[in-house]
Amino acid sequence: MGDLGGIKRLKIMEVFSEHFKTGHFLSKVDARAKLIVTLALLGMVLSYKGTMFPLVIAAISIVLCLKMHIPVRILALRLAQPVLMAFAVLLLKLFFSGEDILFSFNLFGMELDGHKDGLIEGLLIASRILGGVSLLVAVGFATPFIEFMAALSWLRIPKSFIEITMFAYRYLFMFLEDATTIYSAQKNRLGYSGIRKGLSSFGVLTGSLVLRGFEQSQKTADAMIQRGYTGDLPLLKGKPLRTIELAVAFLIVAFGGAVWMI
């Protein structure tokens, strides 16, 4: 059972591995250029009045991930939750929003109406979710975390936000491993053999992680103060942006803007 638990932990850690973020054609591009393009395209995705542009961005992002040799299984796991959220929003808008009835049917004695205007609005929101998330997933696979944080610092993002993000990323994997260990122990003791037991075990797991989080935050604060922490974490100092990278970034943004205006 210990071996199976170890295999599960390895599979979970593989989803967040930095191994996929190096060795491909986008890993050599300056993170600041990638961030400029991402923010510009994200703004266009969120402000577009139709579904075409977000879906085109989603398709391009997925193709880029495949070109970076990201395993399909890992990519599917990253996109599973946003796809479910987009589908849920689409259903909610279709059946509970709008006035122009498209169809009706009876479900367990309850009359449900599908609305045409609700469907259109749901497709709009769902396409924005898919386009924005796919874009962020692509840039996440293309950029190591430390370089991404350095790029955010270059954009004058508040240092407190960057430092909190770095600490959260540092301990995310530790808490993930703790959660896997607790879950395996509960499952071996039939803690999820029924709905009531499962909810109780999940509550214990969540409470344990919250308490460990508070305890670890205090330990981390004490350790940092003892090591002379003054509220300023050192980050990578990037080289001057190359003209060719800036030019390509602005060309991509300009092309995206032209498509956005169609």
Domain boundaries, the chain: 19-156+240-260, 158-231
Output b/e per residue, 76-94; b: 16+ Cβ within 10 A: eebbeebeeebeebbeebb
- The residues, ordered by sequence, that sit 6+ positions from 36 with a Cβ below 8 Å of its Cβ are 249, 253
- φ, ψ for residue 68, nearest 5 deg: -85, 5
Q: What is d(CA 38, CA 249) in angstroms, rounded to the nearest whole number?
A: 10
For tokens 């393009």, the residue is 37
For residue 204, what are the CA distances in angstroms to 18, 179, 191, 211, 223? 31, 11, 10, 11, 28
Residue 4: per-residue pLDDT? 44
For residue 137, what are the CA distances in angstroms to 19, 42, 58, 134, 144? 15, 12, 10, 5, 12
Residue 5: per-residue pLDDT? 47
- φ, ψ for residue 241, nearest 5 deg: -65, 135
Residue 235: per-residue pLDDT? 63
Amino acid present at 37 = V
For tokens 């969120």, the residue is 46
SS3 label, residue 127: helix
Q: What is d(CA 125, CA 111) in angstroms, rounded to the nearest whole number?
A: 25
Give start and end residues of each alpha helix (H) in 68-194. 72-96, 116-142, 145-154, 159-188
Residues of the chain falling short of pLDDT 50: 1-7, 10
For residue 67, what are the CA distances in angstroms to 15, 32, 121, 143, 148? 18, 21, 32, 14, 20
Residue 2: per-residue pLDDT? 44
Residue 62: per-residue pLDDT? 94
Residue 216 token pair: 């670890």
SS3 label, residue 142: helix
